Chain A
């Protein structure tokens, strides 16, 4: 049956198998990492050098899966994901830029938590919430994400809270994000806080 583009039930092993076949088909498009890096000058001001954000409420993009980055750019361009800062940016990029940017950000070293976990109890709660909500079935056991599904490990804590609030409130909705809208809706504030703390410190 057809369902949507979000990834469901992926585990790391199969993700790997799928990833390899996806890689084979993607190699034909020959995305250009160097060109992506050049284009990413547009992104540095907010998303930081080498894709590591130093700005509150702005996500790091380093190590995000290629397809995830591309999909978000396509969603911004189509207007199904809305953001004032992103709007003028996506108006300046074409399909090749999107492919190159995806390849570039995916090639960067993922972020690491800038400080040691100051609240291991909260992380423990977050880990439990992640199991209960089946987060890993899409985001993979390491929370590195895969294909169209975002990397969460090491993401900025306050951004993870913002993103979960955006899903929960329906600010981020629509076909490409349907699974998250439904998963986030029943989350309590305590769970959101704990999940964000846990994931940010992975």
Chain B
């Protein structure tokens, strides 16, 4: 499957990363260079990939670690009472015990498949007389955050492998090893976890994050590809994308919209995370040169102007961490929700007072102009840096309610509306 992207072509690119990254002292501003022309670079990205030019005041900001066993049923019962929703909406626990739950996908026969983060699990949630049963159907995969279901097959993307499991719903207890249908992807974990969104032709949009906070990306990342799981063919549809872990195809236009997490360590309020739309193949969305459509990177702009790049449809806010998103195509919610975008915001870590950790509603036409957003569901953050849960994906249920995955509480919620 190396047809579309050949690593060796890119291997000559020398990667230069500035760095306070990699230096013990924040005062040290010497350029730090990495050579990508070695096999080592692809298997072992810079060990300081997650750090940046942190200031003294930013020291200590770190991704928080959730409860390893998720929230118990009693804790979840208390949790959902704290969630605020617009009038007429209701939240309930759909399934507890889905540890580190990430992207969700429906099987044709009503099985809810759920990926996970570092645990390496893929789950199947089935209905047993009204009670949800959570079964771990795959174990030991490398960060299987993204999955999709097409023509009876479950597809799981685990960093560098897109794996197909045929006839999955009939074989929940014995899925086997599956078949790798696309693997032209770097194997490193750094921003290597992915999301899958299928278009009408059954090709998947697949995001590729850079293996660091900010730097000149190795050639085959910081992009979105469109991948055909039937043939393993792929095409490049977007460049200049940092870490995207969510997107959906617009039911009105067929265009791909995606969320994007902006760089860290600039400040608590800069730059904003983004909602983007690919109007035409090959657009460049600015990373690492320009952030939030109007802010040249202090080090990496290198003479580029923001006007060279495709601006976001909407700036969502700094460090809100927008992940999974869906166009609302159901008919249960009030009529003005039709074709709105619902975005699961995972919430901050690189900010002194966390924000995000909620579900946003974006109201925007198919042209992407004049987008506006409002809070749809909130209450998962307590105090300045406390989470009781972290929403990370959304999927519609048949009845028009939505399901929300939470990898902190290890649970799936259902949000429904009744007049």
Q: Chain A: residues with CB nearer than 8 A to chain B?
A: 1-11, 13-15, 17-18, 21-22, 24-26, 28-29, 67, 70-71, 73-75, 78-80, 95, 98-99, 102, 131-134, 137-138, 147-148, 173-179, 181-183, 185-186
Which chain B residues in 52-77 approach chain A with CB under 8 Å? Answer: 54, 59-70, 72, 75
Asked whether, in the complex, the Cβ of A78 is within 8 Å of the Cβ of B120, the reply is: yes
CB contact list, B69-112 vs A, under 8 A? 69-70, 72, 75, 78, 97, 99
* Listed A/B pairs (23) with beta-carbon separation below 8 Å: A1-B262, A1-B349, A2-B243, A2-B245, A4-B189, A5-B65, A7-B62, A8-B51, A10-B62, A14-B60, A21-B384, A21-B386, A73-B68, A74-B119, A78-B139, A95-B97, A133-B47, A134-B48, A134-B51, A138-B62, A147-B65, A148-B68, A173-B189
Q: How far is the CB of B261 from chain A (nearest CB, A)?
A: 3
**B386 in complex: contacting residue of A15, A24, A173, CB < 8 Å:** A24
Q: In the complex, how many residue pairs between chain A and chain B have their CB atoms under 8 Å apart? A: 166
- What's the Cα separation between A132 and B393 when bound, in Å? 38
A8 touches B63 (CB 8 A): yes
Q: Verify if B326 is at the interface (C-beta below 8 Å from A).
A: no
Q: Closest CB of chain B to A104's CB: distance in Å?
A: 15
Q: Are the CB atoms of A95 and B65 closer together than 8 Å?
A: no
B143 touches A175 (CB 8 A): yes
Interface residues of B (CB under 8 A from A): 24, 44-51, 54, 59-70, 72, 75, 78, 97, 99, 117-121, 136, 139-140, 142-143, 188-191, 193, 242-243, 245, 261-264, 273, 319, 321, 323, 346, 349-350, 382-388, 392
CA distance A74 to B97 in the complex (A): 12
Contact pick for B72, options A29, A134, A174, A179, CB 8 Å: A29
Select A71's contact among B68, B70, B245, beta carbons within 8 Å: B68
Assuming the contacts A8-B51, A21-B386, A132-B24, asked whether A3 and B63 have C-beta atoms less than 8 A apart, the reply is yes
Q: Are B117 and A5 in contact (CB under 8 A)?
A: yes
Q: Which B residue sits closest to A25, measured CB to CB?
A: B386
